[in-house]
A and B are shown apart, each in its own frame.
Chain A
Amino acid sequence: MAIKRNFASSEDMTEINISPLIDMVFILLIFFIVTTVFVEEDGMEVSRPEPSAVQTMEKDSINFELRGTQVLMNGKNIGLGAVRAQVSRLIQGQDLPVIITVGEEASAGLLVRVIDESRLAGAKNVSLAGS
């Protein structure tokens, strides 16, 4: 009856010593506090045109071209401010894709702003094409 005797003798202790447990929990807590970073990333999704969309690129889509600081539509410089008006005029509830062709000189800031304006005008499908 070794086990029984052990139980009997351990009953002399009134409490289990939990201080090592608490030490360990504190160390874990400090580790997680130190390593946690609360990254808040906001952003927009970007996509490339589907292969099928490239074939119908000419007629059933709205095309913009970025060249330097200019925004071109059908070869004419319309500027950033006119993007929203043009997209909302042409889209009219349909699900037309907007395709943005990015030239070498265009900056990423302009690209993001054109995508943003198209989205605000109601375009659901905005995709990018390299020059």
Chain B
Amino acid sequence: MKSRKSLGDSEELKEINISPLIDMVFILLIFFIVTTVFVEEPGVEVQKPKAASIKDLEKNSILIAITAKGEIVFGGGQIGIGGIRPTVRRLCAQEKLPVILQVDESAPGALVVRAIDEAKLGKARAVFISANPI
């Protein structure tokens, strides 16, 4: 009955010491506060093109998707080619953000070029095309 005896011993403690738990929770909290960026995702699935000369992009940026059918999607809704410039201008009013285009492999190339133009005219800091590593 060794376990019984040790249970009896622990009854002398009135409370469990929870300060290490709280310390850990605070550390987790700080980690999540620091790493969270509130980025609005387009919300459509696109088949990204593959490329070798790619680099990691900034997390805090404006994500705009162009689907295979040529729809331009931002924040869960279609905005159309004419909607890029006002959207980018509104979001870049306080701080200049980069724009990331999530382009489908079979999207029309001319539309992509026009979208880059519109984003530049909306005063985006830089324009990137999202791609997967090979």
A residues touching B (Cβ–Cβ < 8 Å)?
A: 18, 22, 25-26, 28-29, 32-33, 35-48, 66, 102-113, 115-116, 119-120, 128-131
List of A residues within 8 angstroms of B59 by Cβ: 39, 41
**Given contacts A37-B41, A44-B55, A116-B53, A128 and B113 within 8 Å (CB-CB):** yes
B residues touching A (Cβ–Cβ < 8 Å)?
A: 18, 22, 25-26, 28-29, 32-33, 35-36, 38-39, 41, 49-57, 59, 61, 63, 66, 100, 103-110, 112-114, 116-117, 120, 126-133
Q: Which of A25, A108, A119, A128 contacts B105 (CB 8 A)?
A: A108
A-B contact pairs, 21 of them (CB 8 A): A29-B32, A32-B29, A35-B38, A36-B35, A37-B41, A39-B41, A41-B57, A42-B54, A43-B100, A43-B131, A44-B128, A46-B129, A103-B109, A106-B109, A107-B108, A108-B106, A109-B49, A111-B109, A112-B131, A116-B51, A130-B114
List of A residues within 8 angstroms of B104 by Cβ: 108
A42 touches B131 (CB 8 A): yes
Closest chain A residue, CB of each to CB of B131? A43
* Alpha-carbon distance between A35 and B59 when the two chains are bound, in angstroms: 15
